[in-house]
A and B are shown apart, each in its own frame.
Chain A
């Protein structure tokens, strides 16, 4: 069902007109409320009056994750603090997390957009919906939660963790829909099989999966093992959270909530806009956001935009599945991890040499991060003759990593000169996960 046909099925012409008006308004708003944007625009000799139609967007400056870091924590916030009613945080590249403040209207837009996604997946008022994304600073849990409530279905805030308990809830509560990472869905299927529970014992019929890349093969596996229809949902906290784009029954690309989030595809090197069907970096401008509006935010996600009519009746453009990143960010258990974060932890520990390696595996459908780090030979000058100091060091690194990354990593302390020396950051990472 189409939640908001007036917007989702709006004619392209009317939509472009709406986008142009909203863009002018948001640019005027940030120009007067965010010194960062005013300075950038003045340096480029662009004023809000130069932005009249959506095509004028190319005159505007880009925003990067580094800009968010440089303006930590509230530098890019446009609304006065008194209007902010929620603050989320996501991983930053080093040290600082990215802080996003939402006004009451922002939470309303988020809930509306989320309801569009859920409705598109077939969720109705009489559904019982389990949100198995993490609740907390991460936008996944609360983002979907508000959408389910706004739609009028019953939300079960399961969050992450205890899989066996989750399986029991699915069965006992007659849960009909679930939102989680696709890898967790497979882990859930495995746990069900171990417990001897078959899909026909459940009422589950809809899955909303996102926060990490997945493939058509994973989709068919999830659908057959859980006996459901599996849909993609996409979002990022800088722009809003989950709700930015969503699949429809055609399961062919994810419709972007274009009346609120304007997409562009650019060449990540030249920054030149690329046409429909061309793969490049996805860029979003928030057209209605009050708390922290962003102009031309570079997501670093690589994809392409599909134009043209969709059999579902929605006129919003669709984005193809994310096919990679234009930076070295990893997604581990749905959480964004930058090798630079690991580096900053290692550099802060004097016993560790600045030589490390990240190894990512998928074991029983759950991601596992191992960090190998070399110990400095000088550390041994103190006369160590047992392994205790090494295991102690591993514990120390693991606990620091946990507090910075928000996920657990297994730490392997290595002898000096045992990790291969390579140039370039991406070589620090060995990703053994094969998404077939």
Chain B
């Protein structure tokens, strides 16, 4: 599914600026995760109207990027995430980053594999279901 990534300064006030641009346009946030270093970070978000979000953020002079992320449904029980991650690990697929959120009440793992083709094979072979947009 579509993911909005924003390059942000590690400074107070930057995140609220981004969130207000989205909320001001009636865009709803479904998931958010930030990878940070001392000086800056990447804020990854899943929201409805991702294309609209990108357009508005860029208009606001913000470095925003649209990318595809794997969003795999998992079992809502202990070991649910481990079950999914293990399949990729066994297939030799590394994950650049991972975060989770609830989508229509179902727990979902969002991640980016280093090898998309192999990752799709894992999905098919194990009948994993992804979030449909």
Contacts and interface: CB of A to CB of B under 8 A. Distances in A.
Interface of A: 375, 377, 379-387, 390, 412-418
Contacts, number: 63
- Pick from B5, B63, B64 the residue with the most CB of A within 10 Å: B63
A23 B7 CA distance: 61
Contact of A385 (B11, B37, B44, B62): B44
A70 B80 CA distance: 70
Interface residues of B, number: 26
Interface stretch (B23-31, B65-73, B83-91, B122-130): B65-73
Contact of B35 (A382, A386, A415): A386
B103 interface: no
Nearest to A417: B61
- Pick from A381, A387, A415, A417 the residue with the most CB of B within 10 Å: A415
A377 B37 contact: no
User: SS class of chain B's interface: helix, strand, loop or mixed?
Assistant: strand
Contacts of B42: 384-387
A377 B67 contact: no
B23 to A, nearest CB: 20
B32 interface: no
Nearest to A379: B63
A384 B41 CA distance: 12
17 contacts: A377-B61, A377-B62, A377-B63, A380-B7, A382-B65, A385-B3, A385-B67, A385-B112, A386-B96, A387-B37, A390-B7, A390-B40, A414-B39, A415-B9, A415-B14, A415-B40, A415-B62
B67 A383 contact: yes
A387 B63 contact: no
A380 B9 contact: no
B8 interface: yes
Contact of A384 (B5, B39, B58): B5
Contact of A416 (B11, B62, B66, B69): B62
B40 A384 contact: no
B63 A415 contact: yes
A377 B58 contact: yes
Interface in B62-111: 62-67, 69, 96-97
B64 A380 contact: yes
Nearest to A374: B63
A115 B37 CA distance: 52
A416 B61 CA distance: 7
A380 B35 CA distance: 16
Contacts of B69: 385
Contacts of A418: 9, 11
- Pick from A377, A382, A413, A417 the residue with the most CB of B within 10 Å: A377
Nearest to A372: B39
A355 to B, nearest CB: 12
A24 B65 CA distance: 68
Interface string B22-57: 000000000000010101111010000000000000
A381 B65 contact: yes
Nearest to A418: B9
A381 B35 CA distance: 19
Given A385-B67, A387-B42, 4 more contacts: A385-B3, A415-B14, A415-B62, A417-B61
A71 to B, nearest CB: 42
Contacts of A382: 65
Contacts of A412: 39
8 smallest CB-CB distances across A and B, nearest first, come from: A385-B5, A380-B65, A380-B63, A383-B67, A385-B67, A377-B63, A417-B61, A384-B65
Contacts of B41: 387
B101 to A, nearest CB: 16
B111 to A, nearest CB: 11
A419 to B, nearest CB: 10
A380 B7 CA distance: 8
Contacts of A390: 7, 40
- Pick from A380, A382, A385 the residue with the most CB of B within 10 Å: A385
B97 to A, nearest CB: 7
A382 B69 CA distance: 15
Contacts of B8: 415
Nearest to B66: A383
A363 to B, nearest CB: 16
Nearest to A414: B9
Nearest to B4: A385
Contacts of B3: 385
A387 B66 contact: no
- Pick from B7, B65, B96 the residue with the most CB of A within 10 Å: B7
